[in-house]
Structure 1
Amino acid sequence: MSRTFGIEEEFFLFDAHTYSLAPLNPEESTQLLELNAQVHPGNVQTEFLAAQIEIATAVFQDAELAVEQLRATRQLLQARCQQIGVFPAALGTPPALPAQPARITDARRYDLVQQLVPGLAAEHYLSGMHIHIGIPDLQSGVHALNGLRPWLPALIAMSSNSPFWRGQDTGFASWRTIQYRRWSINGIPPHFPDAASYRSHQQLLLGSESLLDAGHIGWSARLSEKFPTIEIRASDVQMTSGEAVALAVLVRAVVDTVLDHPPVPPTASSEALQLALWQAARSGLRGKLLEASTGENVPAMDHVGTLLDYASGALRANGDESRVQAAVAKWQENGTGTQRQRSAWLSGGDKAVLDLAREHFGQ
């Protein structure tokens, strides 16, 4: 039986006429949340910004079913948004930003975040995708976390979908990744010998009084505090449901592979992995990545090929090999979301980027 997975996706909301970010009022939020009666056992929920909405899927084992349900939920959300004069867009950052600080959703936790880091909260225009992979226990989760560390930069490169910020091309494939690194705890997690050391390190961080709670630890992968899962937070939100699920089942295959082998030794330094993460955010699949275990600087697509070889047995066993290979071939030929956004930008600026995202949202 295949290991379970689930996906959380954050989307920006734009005014259907002006194409500006559209913070929801409480009545509009309520109208979108009424979709929960139709999308159960997944759900729709508000996010940090009032101009964002989130989809959390059901728990899946089958990739095709996940694509079907995620696509259906996106289409329901798109139709309901149309009724209130907005549209959702799956972009890691908006192509243009308002001059005023972001309006934060009215919720106790978000109020506390704003009080803790007002300057960061004021421009947290970031939308990601979180992948949850089921794990049997805490020790297995730590083992999986260690094994995922060297592959997180490749995941960022494949999922890059945020080149623009404040109406300009940043020169980065995933500017969301760079912006998110400003928070107190972020990037590649440390290597942990065992579950006890994970918990001990977590308590050390919480004792700094620089975090609200364990949920504020923003590593690119961490153990969920709510579910028996490892939570991979590296990816920009994806333009299409098919791309989102392809990334999710690739991560599942990596976790499967790690857990089928002995504990992973810390062969790569954290600093080298952080540099590879920065490279991935800078150039996506069009540049090079430092393979931290070998010290070689290789083309990103070669590194992705190494990743696919590593996870190939689990991909075949789960029936996901052709799906993932097709997604990687698409990114290589047509570019990730970043390249597609840039092509649209050249043809018509930020409006063309939003039209592109609007067109692909329900796919």
Structure 2
Amino acid sequence: MPLQDFATSEPLTLGVELELQLISTHDQNLVPQAEDLLRETARHTGAWDIKPEIARSMIEIGSSIQREHGPLLAELRDMRDQLVHASRRLNIGIAGGGTHAYQHWSEQQIYPGERFHYLSDLYGYLAKQFIVFGQHVHVGCPNGDDALWLLHALSRYVPHFIALAGSSPFVQGQDTGFDSARLNAVFAFPLSGRAPFVRSWSEFGTYFDKMTDTGVVKSMKDFYWDIRPKPEYGTIELRVCDTPLTVEKAAALACYLQAICRYLIQERPFEPAEDDYLVYTYNRFQACRFGLDGEVVNPQTKQRSRLRDDIVRTLAKVDAHAVDLKSWDACQQIRDSLGEGNDATWLRRLHRTGMPLSEVVETAARRWSGA
């Protein structure tokens, strides 16, 4: 399949996708009822979208095209409320979080769909271990060249979003020591990680043709990069966030990204370079492992700093842009979360009080519902 032309989008528009857990109200484990929930929500009101994901115990919801924090948050809350109402009719719960705390991958069922079965056949048990839950954020770009520039410029901010969104400390009943254990499952795939350093859409087309000629890649969907271009939408897509435990956090993360993008585009504080990626994997690991307490290296100055401090400095740089975008409240929520800790911190805090993991999952589902 040849690479399609890059569609023109209004710059800095947003689209948010959230992968959600379907929870049994009996034992709080994942429950394979995606088909039932999709039937219950088939006639939902609103411009948002709901669709299946790779497992029958998860769904994905997607917002309409948004420009500002207020309308985005209102739509996400409407999604949540309608989903929660439908799930109660089915006697199931819905939760955020990047991983389920104690589900076992071998018990999961692949959703009946051609692509999902293709992935299961190709990746074997990795497909079931890929039953993790993330937030993806699309940012509109006017053309492919600008999209690739922004993609590479954003690379140094990837650890911010991993750390802020970290909500997957538990895997198969154990505390992994990671704030985002979810990304360890993603990294197992051969086409994950960073995008190649190409600066023009024509150059990217050459790379794409070489990859399809090998037979390894059939379409853009086969790339699981941390940030990837989506030519059919005219966007770049940030894919590193765990699904937050609330829609309020999801909206804040999206609008923090939007403010950074506006800052980068309008002020051009640096020019992306291949050497920016020398510390990329190290910085990403620090964010996954230690969250906001992780240490990152600035690829230009080689200076080290705590992620929490780097986010504070970045917020100061983008505040004026957030005001212009009407998303200052979102960035203030990000600022407040630096003291409170991320969702992984909240989940661990519950468990350390002696709460069993089943009750932790139940409490997280209540938090998602807005209760």
With the length of structure 2 as denominator, give the TM-score of the two structures: 0.91
Identify the match of residue 281 of structure 2 among 274, 277, 284. Answer: 274
Distance 1:16 1:115 in 2: 31
Q: Secondary structure at the match of 2:339?
A: helix
Residue 138 of structure 1 aligns with which residue?
144
Residue 170 of structure 1 aligns with which residue?
176
Matched residues, number: 359
Identify the match of residue 247 of structure 1 among 246, 250, 253. Answer: 253
Change (3 A) 1:195 1:212: closer
Distance 2:294 2:356 in 1: 25
Which deviates more from structure 2 when the two are superposed, residues 89-98 or residues 290-299? Answer: 290-299
Per-residue CA shift, 1:44-78, capped at 9, x if unaligned? 11111110011111111121111111012111101
Per-residue CA shift, 1:78-133, capped at 9, x if unaligned? 11111112111101000001363421110011111111111211221210001011
How far 1:358 sits from its partner (Å)?
1.3
Per-residue CA shift, 1:214-241, capped at 9, x if unaligned? 1121111111143111111111111111
For residues 343-354 of structure 1, the aligned pairs below 5 Å read 343-347=349-353, 348-354=355-361
Residue 23 of structure 1 aligns with which residue?
32
Q: Secondary structure at the match of 2:197?
A: coil
Which deviates more from structure 2 when the two are superposed, residues 347-356 or residues 74-83? Answer: 347-356
Per-residue CA shift, 1:248-294, capped at 9, x if unaligned? 11111222222224582316442311110111001110222222222
Letter matched to residue 22 of structure 2: L
Distance 1:195 1:148 in 2: 17
Per-residue CA shift, 1:316-338, capped at 9, x if unaligned? 21122232122321x22221110
Q: Secondary structure at the match of 2:106?
A: coil
Q: Secondary structure at the match of 1:316?
A: helix
Residue 203 of structure 1 aligns with which residue?
209
Identify the match of residue 199 of structure 2 among 193, 208, 227. Answer: 193
Change (3 A) 1:67 1:147: same
For residues 50-129 of structure 1, the aligned pairs below 5 Å read 50-98=56-104, 100-129=106-135
Unaligned runs of at least 5 residues, structure 1:
none
Distance 2:214 2:11 in 1: 39
Instruction: Tell whether the 8 Å contact from 1:149 to 1:189 is kept in structure 2 after alignment.
Output: no
Q: Secondary structure at the match of 1:361?
A: helix
Q: State, as a whole percentage, how many aligned pairs show the same letter.
A: 21
Q: Secondary structure at the match of 1:11?
A: strand
Change (3 A) 1:40 1:203: farther
Letter matched to residue 48 of structure 1: I
Q: Secondary structure at the match of 2:138?
A: strand
Change (3 A) 1:33 1:206: farther
Residue 327 of structure 2 aligns with which residue?
320
Letter matched to residue 92 of structure 1: G
Identify the match of residue 228 of structure 1 among 223, 226, 234. Answer: 234
Distance 1:68 1:337 in 2: 21
Distance 1:30 1:126 in 2: 19
1:4 aligned onto 2:13? yes
Distance 2:41 2:17 in 1: 15
Change (3 A) 1:346 1:207: farther
Structure with the greater relative contact order (CA < 8 A, sep ≥ 6): 1 or 2? 2
1:357 aligned onto 2:349? no
Instruction: Tell whether the 8 Å contact from 2:97 to 2:168 is kept in structure 1 after alignment.
Output: yes
Distance 1:217 1:100 in 2: 25
How far 1:181 sits from its partner (Å)?
0.6
With the length of structure 1 as denominator, give the TM-score of the two structures: 0.93
1:38 aligned onto 2:44? yes
Instruction: Tell whether the 8 Å contact from 1:184 to 1:210 is kept in structure 2 after alignment.
Output: no
CA root-mean-square deviation: 1.9
1:283 aligned onto 2:290? yes
Distance 1:208 1:313 in 2: 47
Letter matched to residue 126 of structure 1: V
Instruction: Tell whether the 8 Å contact from 1:221 to 1:230 is kept in structure 2 after alignment.
Output: yes
Instruction: Tell whether the 8 Å contact from 1:13 to 1:87 is kept in structure 2 after alignment.
Output: yes
How far 1:134 sits from its partner (Å)?
1.1
Instruction: Tell whether the 8 Å contact from 2:152 to 2:197 is kept in structure 1 after alignment.
Output: yes
How far 1:29 sits from its partner (Å)?
4.2
Displacement over 6 Å in runs of 4+: none
Residue 7 of structure 2 aligns with which residue?
none
Residue 218 of structure 1 aligns with which residue?
224
Instruction: Tell whether the 8 Å contact from 1:72 to 1:362 is kept in structure 2 after alignment.
Output: no
